[in-house]
Structure 1
Amino acid sequence: MPVDLPIASSTDAPPVPPRVIAWLGLLMLVMLAGAAATLFTWPKSEPTGSTWFWTKLLVLPALGFFVAFGLRLFYFEQESDRVRAEEETLKGDQAKARLFGSEPLAVLECRYLCALENGRAANETAPTHSILSAQVPHSGGTAVRHTALKLGEARTILERYRACFLEILDGVGAAICALPRDVPFNVCLALPANPKTPEEDDLLATWQDCWRESGLRPVKASRLAAEQGLMPLDEWLDVRGGAALEKVTLYVSAQLHVTPPHNSAEAAVALLLGWAPLLERRGLKPLAMLHRPIEAEPGALDDAILEALLWGRSVSTEIGDLWQAGLAADDKPAILQSASALSLAVSKARDLSGIHDIDITLGHAGIAAGWLAAAFAIERVAQAHTPQLIVHRTGSLQLAVVNPVARPTADTTEKAHTP
């Protein structure tokens, strides 16, 4: 659910102080009117040197004026106090919303399987570097331009998923075993929907078999909807407290193919994430901080980028790397245009070397595309120690920021907006 910054409930113009010139002019008019009224109404038989004459001539008009001026000044001060109180309340509410919206998830472990080895993606996903090539699929047939995982002697799609699950679990197993037993822990799987073979429909059972075989603590995995992308992280961060927030979750996404589509990629990703304050209390050291993902509304990409930066505690000049995956044809020029309009550092490079198009490098990784972009960004953070921006499409266009664990707090005041 999007986090909205509170906005001012009142659209009234701020109170205007009394205008000195106008009130001096009014004083002169009141005094002249009072004097004229006194002179015209004063009985001719009464002496004009009496106290009452001068009181009516000067004191009463002045008194009436100053009463009116005092009421006007009192109104201005009261309205000013009310506006100041509303502004202070609004600033406090906005500060709370920023603090809540920018709470990150700590990355305890990050592993991926693709045609690039772990640790190499951060260096080799340059815009002009592609390892896509035409090759015969594991199932045989005509050569297709794609990248595939090397999973030993596994042949059937279910055998390949099994080998994939075991390999990815081997990579994150040590980090899972290091978790204190009393820390709440669960597993979420992002796997292909609408399986093309009956065997693929058994992926959840295959995962559970691999989990038991790995000897890890007993836990039943749940399956995420295919169209969610990274947005389950947003749902997690929406929780206000309790075990649903203070936990560690293993997110695993895998995409293999029986018959690979053109320009596709096979990939698997495992991210072990935890609520940052919980990990800090338990002495667990994270690798990076993954901030709240957001969904871009159609035609509002600039606002979406600014919102992602706001929740990512970053400013545009810090974003030297942008990881994009699974994008539609018209997404890429729109992202480049927005990056330039918002003065992202990545748009200033002469060769745009900071824009990493995973689809060009590896191919479209299907349901794992967004998670793979996150994994590459996390890996890059360890080298560059600068914020990384992720943009991918899984149904909707989604954006998120990955930050180093320790970095100066960026001043986002000027860049903050009202999402």
Structure 2
Amino acid sequence: MTVRLDQVPALAPRPVRPRAWLWLGVFPLLLLLLGVGGMFLFGTQALREQPVSFWGLAFGVPLLGWCLLSFGRVLLYLGQQQVADGWDQAREEDLIQKLRRGRRVQQVLAVSLHTALREPEASSATQLKALLDGVKALKAQPSRQDQSVLRHSRIAGDTAEVPELALHRVLTQMLADLAPSLTQVPDATPLALLLEVGSTLPENVWQRVWRQAWSESGIRQSTVLVEEDGLEALDQWLDHRIGDQALLLVVAVQFAPQQPEGTAEAAVGLLFGNRLTQTVLPSMAYLHRPEQEREPTTDALLYAASQALDWVPLDAQSIEQTWRVGVDTQRDAALTTVLADVSIPVKHNQGFYDLDAQLGHPGKASPWLAIAAATQTIQSGAGPQFIFSGGGCVDAGLWSTVLTPVPSLSK
């Protein structure tokens, strides 16, 4: 279940301390007056003729009553204090447990990213430089479906290539990027697969292409599909499978989308490991728990962004690059407000990368594309990265995610 610090109960209300002026001044005097007055009104003539007994009762009974009432009041106060202390201690333990769970991280172990900015034979470094330089691949060009000219970006390749063959080529290249890391992992290591594909190709077609590319990759580990989608799958993994020996392989592809206008083709492969159990492969970066806004409002997005930073924990001023992807233009004002309120240092055309403007909307691949680009940026020597990402559904809440470099052993 999602970690919600805003649902942690409040501290227990503290009892009011007994007022000294009331219990040492007013109450004793009032009880004495009642005691003396009662003796004069209800005492017998014989009792009045015995001054010691008369005054003993007149002062003794009120004093005894005051002692009993004071003792009861002190016991009530101490009991309320103990109840409040017990509540606060249980709350503190629950809060610590939630913080520990919320601050779990995933190791990013391998990355493959293919967009329109990466030529078939080009290196990932060339693509990353183009992204960081703000090169735009979003342009008017023929679509794969009917060759109608629409503004979108396509994964580089022969424009006349059969879509099935083009997808097979892209998947083969992506798996070739990931295979060297997986060859270092024992064959028996479980591999959980999150496969997200958005395409006009029928599901049975792209599934067949995927199986063919996988069988040709030489990767020996067997896979089990993950049921959840998007960053929700990662959030659930951090909650329930942080102690697993399994690695999480994410393959996210948008290829020949249904409505190409304003979209981006992208193929992303990411390999994640649990820091507590995975010791074979070196980490490229740490991916911290993503936080999703609960409703499409500025306040909800601000809470999500602040909480994502707190999971690290990290000062917003430490963020070196901020990425935006899969975000509808209607949220521009909200993003601007949130960036200012959390004090993430962002300058125009410097440190802020709008992948939607550069490539187009990548659909289901949106968050993974940004994570891959941010990881490669960290590998090039950059510091912490922040990501605002949407997904395949426009109405879905935006996610805030932080990636940080792996601490150096020399520090």
Query: TM-score interval w.r.t. the shorter chain?
Result: 0.7 to 0.9
8 Å contact kept, 2:316–2:344:
yes
Q: Distance in 2 between matches of 1:68 and 1:149?
A: 83
8 Å contact kept, 1:105–1:291:
yes
Aligned pairs for 1:5-404 within 5 A? 5=5, 7-8=8-9, 13-23=13-23, 24-46=25-47, 50-117=51-118, 118-119=124-125, 124-125=130-131, 129-137=135-143, 141-151=147-157, 155-192=161-198, 195-198=199-202, 201-220=204-223, 222=225, 228-239=229-240, 245-257=244-256, 261-279=260-278, 282-298=279-295, 299=297, 300-341=300-341, 343-346=342-345, 349-351=346-348, 353-382=350-379, 383-395=381-393, 396-399=396-399, 400-404=401-405
Structure 2 counterpart SS, 1:286: coil
Structure 2 counterpart SS, 1:134: strand
Alpha-carbon distance, 1:167 to partner: 0.6
Q: Distance in 2 between matches of 1:108 and 1:63?
A: 76
8 Å contact kept, 2:201–2:256:
no
Gaps of 5+ in 1: 409-419
Tell me which moved more, 75-84 or 300-309: 300-309
Q: Distance in 2 between matches of 1:221 and 1:18?
A: 64
Which whole-Å deviations, capped at 9, do the CAs of 1:116-138 have from their partners, x for residues lacking one? 34235665546965342333446
Q: Distance in 2 between matches of 1:154 and 1:172?
A: 28
Alpha-carbon distance, 1:259 to partner: 8.0
8 Å contact kept, 2:117–2:155:
no
Q: How many residues align?
A: 395
Which whole-Å deviations, capped at 9, do the CAs of 1:317-359 have from their partners, x for residues lacking one? 4444331111112122212222323x2323xx44373332100
Q: Distance in 1 between matches of 2:197 and 2:36?
A: 91
Structure 1 counterpart of 2:88, one-letter code: E
Q: Distance in 2 between matches of 1:241 and 1:105?
A: 8
Higher relative contact order (CA 8 A, sep 6+): 1
Q: Distance in 2 between matches of 1:327 and 1:303?
A: 17
Tell me which moved more, 178-187 or 79-88: 178-187
Structure 2 counterpart of 1:328, one-letter code: D
Structure 1 vs Structure 2 CA RMSD: 3.0
Q: Distance in 2 between matches of 1:45 and 1:223?
A: 95
Identity of aligned residues (%): 24
8 Å contact kept, 1:230–1:398:
no
Q: Distance in 2 between matches of 1:366 and 1:407?
A: 35
Alpha-carbon distance, 1:312 to partner: 4.0
* TM-score, normalisation: structure 2: 0.85
Structure 2 counterpart of 1:170, one-letter code: A
Alpha-carbon distance, 1:81 to partner: 0.8
Q: Distance in 2 between matches of 1:168 and 1:217?
A: 16
Alpha-carbon distance, 1:94 to partner: 1.3
8 Å contact kept, 1:136–1:143:
yes
Q: Distance in 1 between matches of 2:367 and 2:9?
A: 36
Alpha-carbon distance, 1:373 to partner: 1.1
Structure 2 counterpart of 1:204, one-letter code: Q
8 Å contact kept, 2:187–2:221:
no
